[in-house]
């Protein structure tokens, strides 16, 4: 589950709505909204792990194993470098400077992008609704952070 202090209005999360007849969870991708149920809503939601489908739906480009998103610049077709995930060392960078607090989930990346640009990172959940973006939920063991993109990028 997500700590309500980590998310803000507009962050995209996975909400477990129940289970189907085969006892599989029924998931819904929902943006966080402001209402009287904000903290209750956050307590039944899970983060969306970053993978190729999620980054592609957020407008990131893929090149030589790296994922990047440039900021728009007048007169420059591809824009100026902003965010880059370097596959060789599994780290995120802002303008070639390593980010101390590496984002591992979509809401963290959305918050980072908003902090850097003042604009929302537009994500289309329809692009990855039918893939497994929520892995097994393990409440007692944290996953190693270096293994962010071990599957789903190739």
Could you report the per-residue pLDDT of 42-52, keeping only the tens digit for each?
777 888 889 88
Per 3-state DSSP, the chain is made up of helix, strand and coil in percentages (nearest 5) of 20, 30, 50
Instruction: Kindly report whether the global pTM for this prediction surpasses the value 0.85.
Output: no
Q: Is residue 104 part of a domain?
A: yes
Residues 6+ apart with CB under 8 A from 9: 31, 32, 33, 34
Residues 112 and 65 in one domain: yes
Residues 12 and 63 in one domain: no
**pLDDT given at position 106:** 92
Domain that holds residue 17: 1-47
Residues 57 and 36 in one domain: no
Residues 41 and 57 in one domain: no
- Going by DSSP bridges, is the β-strand pair 45-46/61-63 parallel, antiparallel, or unpaired? unpaired
Structural domain total, the chain: 2
Q: Is residue 2 part of a domain?
A: yes
* Residue 135, token pair as written in the block: 């892995």
Residues 15 and 35 in one domain: yes
Q: Is residue 130 part of a domain?
A: no
Torsional sign, CA 117, 119, 125, 126: negative
Residues 88 and 101 in one domain: yes
Q: Is residue 125 part of a domain?
A: no
Place of tokens 């909204």: 33
Q: Are 7 and 105 in contact (CB under 8 A)?
A: no
Q: Are 116 and 18 in contact (CB under 8 A)?
A: no
Residues 85 and 102 in one domain: yes
Residues 16 and 52 in one domain: no
Residues 34 and 58 in one domain: no
Residues 13 and 63 in one domain: no
Task: Convert the pLDDT of each residue in 79-105 to its tens digit.
Answer: 788 999 998 899 999 988 999 999 999
Q: Is residue 140 part of a domain?
A: no
Residues 67 and 114 in one domain: yes
To 5 degrees, how large is the angle CA 85–CA 88–CA 90?
50
Q: Given strand 12-19, what is the order of strands in its sheet?
A: 25-31, 12-19, 45-46
- In percent, the amount of the chain with pLDDT more than 70 equals 66
Residues 6+ apart with CB under 8 A from 119: 113
């Amino acid at each position: 589950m997500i700590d309500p202090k980590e998310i803000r209005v507009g962050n995209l999360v996975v909400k477990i709505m129940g289970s189907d007849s085969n006892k599989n969870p029924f998931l819904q991708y929902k943006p966080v909204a402001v209402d009287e149920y904000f903290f209750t809503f956050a307590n039944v939601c899970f983060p969306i792990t970053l993978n190729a489908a999620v980054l592609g739906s957020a407008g990131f480009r893929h090149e030589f194993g790296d994922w990047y998103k440039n900021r728009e610049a007048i007169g420059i077709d591809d824009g100026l470098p902003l965010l880059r995930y370097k596959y060789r060392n599994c780290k995120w960078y802002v303008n070639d400077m390593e980010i101390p607090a590496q984002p591992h989930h979509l809401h963290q990346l959305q918050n980072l992008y908003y902090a850097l640009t003042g604009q929302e990172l537009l994500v289309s959940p329809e692009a990855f609704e039918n893939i497994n973006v929520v892995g097994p939920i393990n409440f007692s063991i944290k996953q190693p952070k270096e293994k962010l993109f071990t599957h789903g990028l190739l």
